[in-house]
């Protein structure tokens, strides 16, 4: 593993040279096993969610955890953990435009928090989705403003995605295996379509339900992420093995086979589809996770794993280099048919890359694209890398990449990992283009900075630690480009 303090390259798209710094990196968590799954930013406040497993017993359940870091990242200003009678975790979170935080996840427990007026006050099966709104100015359960289960009697019901609008309303999305989840009369799809379905729902700022709906066909379906545009339109990405899903102005109207990625755009009511399309081939696309980011209706981005044969267009790289690579694409949902796909490209090396759960995607203020995941290839295309080699052959490293808004130029690509397997699972970017990453590491030599708040973890072959890493991108003056 080679870790360098800085890396410099000429960025032709910006006419600037940039230096990428490993500004801060630390283990995070004090328990037996920690898993960072979601990040959210407001100003200089970074919030984290995931799960933590207490150290006192190997068989103890995962705790649902939420933290807000101080600006230095070395301490936390707020922490909420709930020790349930069975496992529970948070997958995604977002600030509500004030100081409160919405958190979506799941719970196997029968004693996870619920509040008066909850849409669903009990766990109806095994894993149910779980949604909370927290007030960080208060401690413990006194800060729970709203909490509800969402699920049915089936085994696997989870909330993987979350978004909040300018009014503080929250939108959630995930997987619903249960056929008896309670839906609302205005649901787009009131009943389960098959093996498993996507679920999406909206609650107002106080937790009042606006709609709860299934979405899916006869196969297995799961919403992975949800996002909004400035007009309140709702975007969702689905992993699907169902043929016959609704297609509106679609780039691709037919299911490719095995599993496809699928993009759908609803109007603000959640009842009318404005755009929807399959995106895949005969292989497995987006089988483990899908990233989603929306700048506006003409710039909708998704990404996930894909193999050779997946569609590309105006590609930075048109072919798959290994078993699985990252496939990332830009859609214009104001257009239809072939025109609606603006670009699609592979990124990866000769091994399997981005084929684990935990892919995430975000945009900066000018629309540059950031994607985090994990990779096992030793020959990834790198740019401005803070770590230039895979931590150990045969393992995975966390990987973060940055592309221009049109997906045509690679601006940053780096490994981040040690001798064990490491997984990047969430990314956030602030207004100064600082990049924040979290995930989990099985490496005792994960790249850390000298000022790390915690430099060791309880890492074994089965227990991982979470990490918090900050990369800073610094422009270094104008570059004269000679052609």
Residues with Cβ within 8 Å of 134's Cβ and at least 6 positions away in sequence, in order, are 66, 80, 100, 101, 102, 103, 143, 144, 145
Give me the mean pLDDT over the 272-281 stretch. Answer: 97
84 against 304, higher pLDDT: 304
For residue 462, the model assigns a pLDDT of: 72
pTM score, whole prediction: 0.94
Q: What is the pLDDT of residue 479?
A: 42
Pairwise CA distance, residues 226 & 266, whole Å: 11
pLDDT for 377 equals 98
The confidence score (pLDDT) of residue 153 equals: 95
Does residue 12 register a pLDDT over 50? Answer: no
What pLDDT does 53 receive?
Answer: 74
**What pLDDT digit, counting tens, does each position of 366-404 carry?**
999 999 999 999 999 999 999 999 999 999 999 999 999
- Tens of pLDDT, residue by residue over 52-67, are 876 555 556 678 899 9
Calpha distance 39→27 (Å, rounded): 15
pLDDT at 1 over 70: no
Tokens of 450: 């000298």
Confidence at 85, pLDDT banded by 50, 70, 90: confident
Whether 305 contacts 328, CB under 8 Å: no
State pLDDT tens for residues 448-483.
Answer: 999 999 998 777 767 889 999 999 988 765 443 333
The pLDDT of residue 29 is above 90: no
Mean pLDDT within 73-102 = 91
Under a CB-based contact definition with an 8 Å cutoff, are residues 186 and 169 in contact?
Answer: no
Mean pLDDT for the chain? 92
- The more confidently predicted of residues 456 and 181 is 181
31 — pLDDT class (breaks 50, 70, 90):
low
Q: Is the pLDDT of residue 13 over 80?
A: no
* pLDDT tens digits for range 321-348: 999 999 999 999 999 999 999 999 999 9
Non-local (6+) Cβ contacts of 409 within 8 A are 11, 12, 13, 316, 403
Summarize pLDDT for 213-249 with one digit per residue, the tens.
Answer: 999 999 999 999 999 999 999 999 999 999 999 999 9
pLDDT at 56: 52
Q: Residue 124 pLDDT > 60, yes or no?
A: yes
The whole-number average pLDDT for the span 24-41 is: 89
Look at residue 154 and tell me whether its pLDDT is greater than 50.
yes
Q: What's the per-residue H, E or C state across the chain?
A: CCECCEEEEEECCCCEEEEEEEEEEEEECCCCEEEEEEEEEECCEEEEEEEEECCCCCCCCCEEEEEEECCCCCCEEEEEEECCCCCEEEEEEEECCCCCEEEEEEECCCCCCCCCCCCCCCCCCCEEEEEEEECCCCCHHHHEEEEEEECCCCCEEEEEEEEECCCCCEEEEEEECCCCCCCCCCCCCCCCCCCEEEEEEEECCCCCEEEEEEECCCCEEEEEEEEECCCCCEEEEEEECCCCCCCECCCCCCCCCCEEEEEEEECCCCCCEEEEEEECCCCECCCCCEEEEEEECCEEEEEEEECCCCCCECCCCCCCCCCCEEEEEEECCCCCHHHHEEEEEEECCCCCECCCCCCEEEECCCCCEEEEEEECCCCCCCECCCECCCCCCCCCEEEEEEECCCCCCEEEEEEECCCCCEEEEEEEECCCCCEEEEEEECCCCCCCCCCCCCCCCCCCCCCCEEEEEEEEEEEEEECCCCC
């Amino acid at each position: 593993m080679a870790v360098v303090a800085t890396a410099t390259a000429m960025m032709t798209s910006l006419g600037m040279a940039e230096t990428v710094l490993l500004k801060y990196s630390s283990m995070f968590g004090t328990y037996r096993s920690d898993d960072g799954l979601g990040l959210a930013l407001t100003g200089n406040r970074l919030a984290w969610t995931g799960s933590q497993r207490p150290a006192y017993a190997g068989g103890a359940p995962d705790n649902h955890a939420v933290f807000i870091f101080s600006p230095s990242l070395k301490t936390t200003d707020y922490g909420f953990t709930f020790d349930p009678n069975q496992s529970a975790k948070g997958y995604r979170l977002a600030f509500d435009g004030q100081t409160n935080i919405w958190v979506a996840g799941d719970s196997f427990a029968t004693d996870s928090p619920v509040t008066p007026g909850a849409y669903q006050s009990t766990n109806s099966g095994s894993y149910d989705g779980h949604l909370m709104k927290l007030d960080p100015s208060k401690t413990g359960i006194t800060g729970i403003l709203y909490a509800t289960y969402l699920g049915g009697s089936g085994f696997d019901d989870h909330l993987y995605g979350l978004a909040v609008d300018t009014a503080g309303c929250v939108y959630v999305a995930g997987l619903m295996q249960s056929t008896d989840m309670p839906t609302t009369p205005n649901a787009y799809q009131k009943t389960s379509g098959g093996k498993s379905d996507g679920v999406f729902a909206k609650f107002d700022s106080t937790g009042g339900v606006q709609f709860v709906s299934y979405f899916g066909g006869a196969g297995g379906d799961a919403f992975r992420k949800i996002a909004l545009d400035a007009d309140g339109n709702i975007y969702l990405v689905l992993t699907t093995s169902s043929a016959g899903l609704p297609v509106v102005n679609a780039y691709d109207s037919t299911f490719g086979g095995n599993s496809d990625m699928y993009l759908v755009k609803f109007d603000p009511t959640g009842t009318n589809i404005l755009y929807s399309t399959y995106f895949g081939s005969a292989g497995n696309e987006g089988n483990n996770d899908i990233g989603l980011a929306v700048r506006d209706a003409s710039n909708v981005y998704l990404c996930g794993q894909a193999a050779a044969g997946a569609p590309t267009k105006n590609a930075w790289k048109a072919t798959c280099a290994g078993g699985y690579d990252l496939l990332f694409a830009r859609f214009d949902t104001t257009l239809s048919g072939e025109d609606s796909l603006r670009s699609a490209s592979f990124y990866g090396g000769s091994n399997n890359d981005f084929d684990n759960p935990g892919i995430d995607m975000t945009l900066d203020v000018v629309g540059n694209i950031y994607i985090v995941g994990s990779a096992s290839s030793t020959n990834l295309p790198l740019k401005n890398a803070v770590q230039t080699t895979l931590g150990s052959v045969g393992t995975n490293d966390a990987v973060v990449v940055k592309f221009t808004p049109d997906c045509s130029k690679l601006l940053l690509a780096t490994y981040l990992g040690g001798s064990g397997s490491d997984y990047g699972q969430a990314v956030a970017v602030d207004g100064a283009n600082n990049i924040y990453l979290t995930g989990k590491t099985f490496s005792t030599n994960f790249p850390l900075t000298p000022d790390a708040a915690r430099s060791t973890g309880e890492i074994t072959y089965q227990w991982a630690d979470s990490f918090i890493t900050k990369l800073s991108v610094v422009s270094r003056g104008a570059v004269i480009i000679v052609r």
